[in-house]
Structure 1
Amino acid sequence: MASKGERIDGLDALRGFAIFGILLINIQVFSGWGFVSADTRQALTWSEWDEPIATWLDILVRAKFYSLFSLLFGYSFMMLAQRVQQSPVRYHLRRMLGLLVIGTAHSLFLSPWDILMLYGVMGLFLGAFLNVRAPTLAACGVALLIVTAVALWFAPQLGLADLGSGTSLRLLQDNVPALSGGSYLEVVEANAYLSVSVFLDRIEHLRPLRVMAMFLFGAAAARLHLAERNSGHVRLLIVVALVGLVVGTALAMAEVKLGEESLAHRVVSLLGGVGAPPLLAMGYGAVLLLWWRGRGRLTGAVRSALAPTGRMALTNYILQSAVCICVFYGMWGDRFASLSLAALMLYSTVFFMAQMIFSAVWLRLFTQGPLEWLWRWQMKRKRPRLLRTSTVT
């Protein structure tokens, strides 16, 4: 078992992996590709590859890596709670309030598609599960997904299917042009309205319940110490990997490929939308944790390459937003809606490799990422050491 205060490199590497998947989806809105017409997309370089790439992103990446990130958030919650000796609930509340402040600033000044505010709000409820056993945590997560599916199924009959969708769409149409040609102050104003659009969309699709379910699954995994190489539970990880990848991929493919409007389509769409993201997220996590239990050179190299990025997950997540708006928005780089999806995937890969190098170099000089340092300062109400010295305490 990991001793108190010891980092788990496999957990950090999983966070790094999740950050990369999030970038592959977020780049589509930052770049403007997600907002332009099909005709405009077809005129872009390498656009002939966009349709298959978009399909596989929808199947394997969209919503899956945010789910993995949420899973890891729940894992960290339980792991930190077990380490804090005094007033763990109060410590957790301070931690969530700090995250809420960071997320609000991120949403307003950089990205209205921020996920941290939702994490901060839903994370407040995690304190109630501090002493709950793993089977109960997992059962509560499953129950939340079932409630989500049932609510979405009956939403049309209850008149809730289009809750806020008209307002959300109007806000998008009115404010996206500011991203491509406005000043920074106009972008900030647009972000405020777009944040409302994102909020309405997430409420309509019951994203808070889905996020909370993943928090609980992650907390259950932490109870079992699944991220630690010497914790056992190999059979459980194998089952999760097989079920998650096979069933999750099948549901996601059916949701994307089944185009005919029918009762079957509605059922498959519901099962795929609610079930595929958590299944694939858990499948990805289980496969990588099983692989990283090995001690081969390739295993260690991949884990070690991803771990620094994951240790600085908060900094890297917000850094992605900052760099992207500088590159794509009209006020600076002015590359909005000018790259095909294929080109954006190449850009994302190169950018993430740069983040891995940056994170590794930074952590050789400093104990943690800059935003992690500020967040910990706020949580502990005492400034932590940032500069790394020869003697590590």
Structure 2
Amino acid sequence: MALNSQSRIELIDSLRGFALLGIFLVNISFFTTSLQTISYGVDLWSGWYNELVLLLRGIIIDGKFVLIFSFLFGFGMVLMRESAQAKGRNFNRIYIRRLIALLLIGLLHGIFIWYGDILTHYALMGFLLMLFQRCKPRTLLIWSLSLLLIVPILVTGASLLSDSASQAFDPVSQADVRQIGIYYQERDAAIYGAGTMTQIIIQRVNDYIGSIFNMLLFYPQILGMFLMGAYFCKRRILHDVQEKRKGIIQLLIIGGGIGLALQLVLSLVKGLPFWGEAAALFVGAPLLALAYIGMFALLYQYKLWKKALHWFSYPGKMAFTNYLLQSVLCGLLFYSYGLGWYGTIEPIWQMLIVVVIFALQAVLSRVWLKRFPIGPLEYVWRLFTYWGSPLNQGRRGQAQPLHAAK
């Protein structure tokens, strides 16, 4: 069944909101912990409850929900192209404007609000995504799998060919690493938690540049998930879940089983070689992300589950606005121009803060969407995209689910 440009798949909106919650559960740590401290893998908090929260987050959440969001980005590109073609509009021109606007907003977000911005990377990878817009589903799948596997294959090959390739990544000593992590945490707490606005901006720009270089390793994975989302959309896998139910169940079992096993190895097994960590991270996370997508889609077919999961659709329809709002609110909570809680909130309470904020966002998004057709930043984004009235060009009608609930 073809999707009209004025329709939305309720499942996709809800899945986007679900991904937004998972991303927030991870991002909040970067608002209260030094980027370098996190990069070195230094744990700052004691207590079994904090250790358990971080362990479960590492296995279930870290690195998976941003991949779901990446999947939906590619999925949305295909929907947008189909809509433009149906209206006889120039898709390339529209999408390039959309990406340029996303890039500009991402730069502003990264420099003035939070250095961990993902919009910049999505915009840059989006230009590469456009090169695949005319590809057939099979071609998209081959490219997607190749990009998702390229990093672990290269790392594994290099490690097997040369022992020094893996030894180069071995830490000098755990004690030295911990001291380095503590140093950076204290330095950043003095800046973000108690510094002036000028000091915060300078440090944020430095961290933004550093985070960009850190993300380069993940670019193949991001583009790979873009293409996987495009493949799913062209194959109409989520357009009619009941028809594709058997394949989705297989994806859930195989992807979930292997992905979870690899994540357990990554989180619980100490002393893994670097190639082992790369394989567990770059193979396990995408498999588990796809399993989550399949599980969410299957549960959405049942009335009771759909009623609960549908609440994710409200923040999902305003994901752009809510994502940036989360950064603003965390800045007010953890930085010196707000409450200055940087480095003082334990992980277990960080998770609680996320749940409370996201619940409020879900309620406020529902109230907003009862009065307005789109979110405020979504309006600005569409204004750049269509160079005219975004409501006329991109109006969404009432959500029309392409699946039947039992």
Instruction: Please indicate the TM-score interval, normalised by the length of the shorter structure.
Output: 0.7 to 0.9
Which stretches in structure 1 are left out of the alignment for 5+ residues?
none
Q: How big is each residue's C-alpha offset from its partner over 1:369-390, in whole Å with a ceiling of 9 and x where there is no partner?
A: 111100000000013349xx9x
Paired residue for 1:5? 6
Q: Deviations over 1:201-249 (max 9, x none)?
A: 122xx11111000000000011122222467211111111111211100
Q: Which residue in the other structure is 2:225 paired with? A: 214
Give the counterpart letter for 1:61 in structure 2: I
Paired with 2:257 and 2:195, the residues of 1 have a C-alpha distance of 45
Q: How does 1:373-384 map to 2 (within 5 A)?
A: 373-384=379-390
Corresponding residue for 2:357?
351
Distance 1:100 1:185 in 2: 24
Of residues 181, 195, 199, the one that matches 2:212 is 199
Secondary structure of the structure 1 residue equivalent to 2:388: coil
CA contact (8 A) 2:189 2:343 kept: no
Gaps of 5+ in 2: 170-176, 399-406
Q: Aligned to 1:107, which of 100, 105, 110?
A: 110
Please provide the CA RMSD for this pair.
Answer: 2.8
Partner of 1:78: 78
Is it true that 1:372 corresponds to 2:378 in the alignment?
Answer: yes
Q: Structure 1's 230 and 57: CA in aligned 2 closer, same or farther, altered over 3 A?
A: closer
Q: CA deviation at 1:155?
A: 5.8
Identity within the alignment, %: 26
Label 1:210 to 1:364 Cα distance change in 2 as closer, same or farther (>3 A). same
Question: 1-side partners of 2:276 and 2:367: how far apart?
Answer: 46
Instruction: Name the CA shift for 1:104/1:130 in 2 (closer, same or farther; >3 Å).
Output: same
User: Aligned to 2:318, which of 299, 312, 318?
Assistant: 312
Equivalent residue letter for 1:242:
I
**Counterpart in the other structure of 2:263:** 252
SS of the residue corresponding to residue 337 of structure 2 reads coil
Corresponding residue of 2:284? 276
Pick closer, same or farther for the CA change 1:177–1:135 going to 2, 3 Å: farther
Q: Does 1:129 align with 2:136?
A: no
For residues 205 and 158 of structure 2, the distance between their equivalents in structure 1, rounded to whole angstroms, comes to 28
Instruction: Compute the TM-score of the two structures, normalised by the length of structure 2.
Output: 0.85
Please name the residue that 2:173 is paired with: none
TM-score, reference length from structure 1: 0.88
SS in 2 for 1:270: helix
Superimposed CA distance per residue, residues 318-365 of structure 1 (whole angstroms, 9 cap, x where no aligned partner): 111000010111221111111111111111111111110011111111
Are the equivalent residues in 2 in contact too, given 1:312–1:359 (CA < 8 A)? yes
Distance change (3 Å), C-alpha of 1:155 and 1:311 = farther
Secondary structure of 1:84's aligned partner: helix
Distance (Å, rounded) in 1 between the aligned partners of 2:320 and 2:269 = 37
AA aligned opposite 1:195: Y
Q: Of 222, 228, 232, which residue of structure 1 is paired with 2:243?
A: 232
The whole-number CA distance in structure 2 between the counterparts of 1:383 and 1:190 is 39
Q: Indicate the residue corresponding to 2:328 in structure 1.
A: 322
1:165-207 per-position Cα deviation (integer Å, ceiling 9, x unaligned): x9xx9x967656421112223222211111111012122xx11
Which residue identity does 2:203 align to in structure 1? A
Q: 1:199 to 1:328 in 2, by over 3 A?
A: same
Q: Is the 8 A contact 1:229 1:293 kept in 2?
A: no
Give the counterpart letter for 2:218 in structure 1: R
Q: Which amino acid in 2 is paired with 1:197? A: G
What is aligned with 1:187?
200
Structure 2 residue matching 1:191: 3-state secondary structure: helix
Distance 1:179 1:267 in 2: 35
Q: Distance in 2 between matches of 1:135 and 1:109?
A: 42
Aligned to 2:403: none
Matches within 5 A, 1:90-101: 90-101=93-104
**2: distance between equivalents of 1:176 and 1:213?**
36
Partners of 1:33 and 1:341 within 8 A in 2:
no
Tell me the secondary structure at the aligned position of residue 45 of structure 2.
Answer: helix
Count of aligned positions = 374
Amino acid at match of 1:17: F
Could you report, residue by residue, the CA deviation over 1:1-20 in whole angstroms, capped at 9, with x for unpaired residues?
A: 33332011100000000000
Please state if 1:60 is matched with 2:60. yes
Q: Deviations over 1:60-100 (max 9, x none)?
A: 11110111110111100111111112211221111111111
- Cα distance, 1:103 vs structure 2: 0.6
CA positional deviation for 1:258: 1.3
How far 1:302 sits from its partner (Å)?
1.9
How much has 1:113 moved relative to structure 2?
0.6
Question: Secondary structure of the residue that 2:291 maps to in structure 1?
Answer: helix
